[in-house]
């Protein structure tokens, strides 16, 4: 039947038409489209990859910053504790030094007082001696007879000495 046998003329025209269509499209049509589409797909793939990487890096950075913050917090606490300790130490040291100084000053004062006392005593002693000697001198010079007048004299002399 005519319907089922390929007609030669039509095969000829079809071969030419299809050949021309194929040549034109394969040379000028599809490559331009395919090239751009593939390039675009590649760019999209690359962008996705970059986005993924950036995301990973961002997560990493967030983690890092959290770590840094935690570290800083720890350091802060440590520093505060250290400072406290140091302060306490300083206060204790100061107290100790103050105590020592105090003791030293007190000791020095005591020593001075003692020394002064000693010199005073010496002085008094020598003065008393001198006075006694003077009194004795005067008593001896006047040659007093009675005991009353002697005592009177002694008292007067003492008064005089006191006044002088």
Q: Could you give phi then psi for residue 5, rounded to 5 degrees?
A: -105, 125
Toward other proteins, which CB reaches closer, 5 or 145? 5
| Angle ∠(87,91,93) on CA atoms, nearest 5 | 115
Question: Under a CB-based contact definition with an 8 Å cutoff, are residues 153 and 142 in contact?
Answer: yes
**Shortest approach of other proteins to residue 28 CB, angstroms?**
6
Toward other proteins, which CB reaches closer, 24 or 83? 24
**Shortest approach of other proteins to residue 51 CB, angstroms?**
16
**Shortest approach of other proteins to residue 23 CB, angstroms?**
9
Question: Under a CB-based contact definition with an 8 Å cutoff, are residues 157 and 135 in contact?
Answer: yes
DSSP 38: H
Among 25, 77, 128, 136, binds other proteins (CB under 8 A): 25
- C-alpha Rg value of the chain to the nearest Å: 63
In the complex, the residues that contact other proteins under the rule CB under 8 A are: 2-15, 17-18, 20-22, 24-26, 28-37, 39-40, 43
């Amino acid at each position: 039947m005519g319907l089922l046998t390929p007609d030669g003329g039509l095969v000829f025209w079809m071969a030419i038409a299809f050949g021309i269509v194929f040549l034109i499209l394969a040379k000028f049509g599809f490559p331009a489209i395919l090239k751009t589409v593939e390039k675009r797909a590649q760019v999209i793939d690359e962008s996705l990859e970059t986005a993924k990487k950036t995301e990973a890096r961002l997560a990493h950075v967030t983690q890092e910053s959290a770590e840094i913050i935690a570290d800083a917090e720890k350091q802060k606490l440590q520093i505060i504790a250290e400072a406290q300790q140091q302060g306490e130490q300083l206060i204790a040291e100061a107290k100790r030094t103050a105590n020592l100084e105090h003791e030293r000053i007190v000791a020095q004062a005591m020593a001075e007082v003692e020394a002064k006392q000693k010199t005073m005593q010496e002085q008094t002693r020598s003065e008393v001696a001198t006075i006694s000697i003077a009194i004795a001198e005067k008593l001896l010079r006047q040659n007093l007879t009675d005991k009353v007048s002697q005592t009177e004299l002694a008292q007067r002399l003492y008064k005089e000495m006191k006044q002088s």
